């Protein structure tokens, strides 16, 4: 336990140079697009609603996984562990939504796709200087990394350098899109 705590603290310190932003509370359940400034940790524009999540049954993913998407990263990236339980039933609601995001949509640097459901949220943040897509395959892999490191009932964030993206899940009021880790300083 002590080793896990010190590992978590060292990872948190690695991203201390960038600031995340807080998603406004009280948004209707849905999928939103945010433009953010990583220097100040602020949202630049009002969030754009891409899709409402209705209380009806969750959408079902297609029978066949859509093709394409980037290759898996050679290593998992940076993981920030947060010992905050995710709300019950959230995973069942937000996982299928990734299947319905437009795969041809390009998201520019410093833009985030955020799924909100009650007090819970899942997100993808783009750090690349070029446009980037939101791939279901990436979300599933990043979510698996978080599940292993943080248990599948806790919140967490993973930054994958090869994709230049952060994927995560958290609760309302938490900083998200903390950004890529600061470069290592050699001594």
More confident residue, 44 or 17: 44
81 located within any domain? yes
67 located within any domain? no
Q: CA-CA distance, 169 to 94, in Å (whole number)? A: 10
pLDDT (tens digit per residue) in 35-66 = 988 888 789 989 999 888 765 544 444 433 34
136 located within any domain? yes
Asked if 169 contacts 120 with a C-beta cutoff of 8 angstroms, the reply is yes
pLDDT for the residue numbered 35: 93
66 located within any domain? no
pLDDT (tens digit per residue) in 127-164 = 877 777 777 788 888 888 888 877 777 788 888 888 88
Task: Please give the tally of structural domains in the chain.
Answer: 1
Token couple for 106:
């390009």
Q: Tell which residue, 111, 98, 106, 110, has the closest CA to residue 142.
A: 98
151 located within any domain? yes
DSSP symbols for 99-165:
HHS-TT--B-TTEEEEEEETTEEEEEEE--SS-B---HHHHHHHHHHHHHHH-TTEEEEEEETTTTE
Q: CA-CA distance, 181 to 144, in Å (whole number)? A: 20
65 located within any domain? no
Going from the C-alpha of 3 to that of each of 6, 9, 15, 73, the distances in angstroms are: 5, 10, 19, 26
82 located within any domain? yes
23 lies in which domain range? Answer: 2-55+75-176
Asked if 98 contacts 135 with a C-beta cutoff of 8 angstroms, the reply is no
Q: What is the pTM of this model?
A: 0.73
62 located within any domain? no
């Amino acid at each position: 336990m002590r080793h896990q705590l010190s590992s978590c603290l060292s990872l948190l310190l690695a991203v201390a140079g960038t600031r995340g932003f807080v998603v406004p509370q009280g948004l209707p359940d849905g999928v939103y697009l945010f433009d953010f400034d990583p220097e100040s940790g602020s949202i630049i524009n009002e969030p754009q609603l891409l899709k409402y999540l209705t209380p009806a049954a969750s959408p079902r993913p297609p029978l066949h996984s859509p093709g394409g998407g980037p290759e898996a990263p050679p290593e998992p990236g940076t993981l920030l562990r947060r010992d905050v339980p995710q709300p019950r039933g959230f995973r069942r609601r937000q996982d299928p939504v990734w299947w319905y995001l437009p795969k041809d949509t390009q998201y520019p640097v410093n833009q985030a796709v955020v799924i909100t459901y009650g007090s819970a949220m899942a997100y993808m943040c783009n750090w690349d200087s070029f446009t980037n897509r939101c791939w279901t395959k990436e979300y599933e892999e990043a979510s698996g990394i978080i599940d292993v490191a943080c248990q599948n009932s806790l919140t967490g964030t993973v930054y994958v350098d090869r994709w230049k993206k952060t994927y995560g899940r958290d609760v309302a009021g938490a900083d998200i899109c903390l950004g890529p880790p600061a470069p290592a300083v050699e001594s």
